[in-house]
Structure 1
Amino acid sequence: MDTVVARMRLLDETLPPGDGVAVFNRVYLAVTEAVDQRIGTGRGPGPGAAATLDVRFAERYLAAVDAADRGRRPPACWRPLFQLRRHPGVRPLQFALAGINAHLGHDLALAVVDACRTLDCAPGDLEDEFDRVGDLLTTLEERIREELMPGPDLLLLADPLTHLLSAWSLERARDATWSAARALWALRRVPDVAGEFTDRLDAAVGFAGRMMLTPLPR
């Protein structure tokens, strides 16, 4: 986990503050540093279960960053954020929530399967750890809204940002991710179907991210 945190700190130091990826990374890093101190308290299969899931989860975000930096295509779920990261019509709150959407909706389901293979267990054995990561993301979303939400005098009912925020639910996304993780595990011996399922999941999460990053008038 130390390596993951070090990579995120380096991104925080090198990316321009207004960059959309930097906006997400900054808040994600702060929450990860706080939660990292409590790793190991889960009730999963062995003391390394929490750390294994956390590392597999964060590595998928960092792999997307590496792909974009090297001119390769990141997963579809991350592409809208990387493509629009410098768009002047996209607000910081949109960048941050689009990052959560990609990381929760796609990366977490695959990270659960990765961790199960590493630990030789089934998703049900990691449900406590999944819930803990879900709590981390809830904390992350709350922090994003506290830091990046416009003041009540600015966030009016007529503001398009209000409608974007109300159209996406972290709780619904979290439930869908757990179902996706269980489905992928059940399909692990049918690789062609599992691959198609993964591609469809990636595309669907990417479509939602594209909508979240719709440029808005100020």
Structure 2
Amino acid sequence: MTQTSSIVDYGFSNSGVSHTHAYLFPAVRASLQANAKGKTLFELGCGNGSNAVALAALGYEVAGIDPSETGIEIANRNFPQCRLELGSSDENLAARFGQFDALVSLEVAEHVFSPKRYAEAIDELLAPGGIAIISTPYHSYLKNLVLAASGKMENHFTALWEGGHIKFWSRDTLGTLFSRAGFEEIGFDRVGRIPALAKSMVVTYRKKAG
């Protein structure tokens, strides 16, 4: 995520995977297998390192950043094989880490203050032809109608969650963000629940070669 740790730390207490891992990771793994052309990978928003170590188990050399001090401390204690450090997409991450064949950023885009800078950082971190796999809660006209009809709209869009969701993406708006940054969409999955009411979308973009 792009906020500094002084704003929100997210309070990681252990190195276990989150509840989202079960429905996000199969789509991420399939996209990497189908689209990635190299073995270096950056995770933007690595949290406690649980996804990073799962990616490393697929054979990737993994680096990543997160603004959570507790998350990074847990990650470094439990997963020293990955280079996971405190950081933010507001920084020049490419100068610090170099460029990568692939980038994964799971359930982060909904938290960022500057989507433009978030996409720019991803562009800087990826080598030409590299891929970015982005997941974020799925929104569509039909799903929002169902939320409204079920009486769950206010809870879903709550303003009371410290460090919670501040951006609500559709496939079109996320696509516009990455198209402007020089990417093309090459994969799209809706995951969790039935597709029309999916919890999240997992979208794969390729950085144009030049």
Higher strand proportion:
2
Larger RCO, structures 1/2 (Cα 8 Å, 6+ apart): 1
TM-score, normalised to structure 1, is: 0.27
Larger of the two Rg values belongs to structure: 1
Higher helix proportion:
1
TM-score, normalised to structure 2, is: 0.27
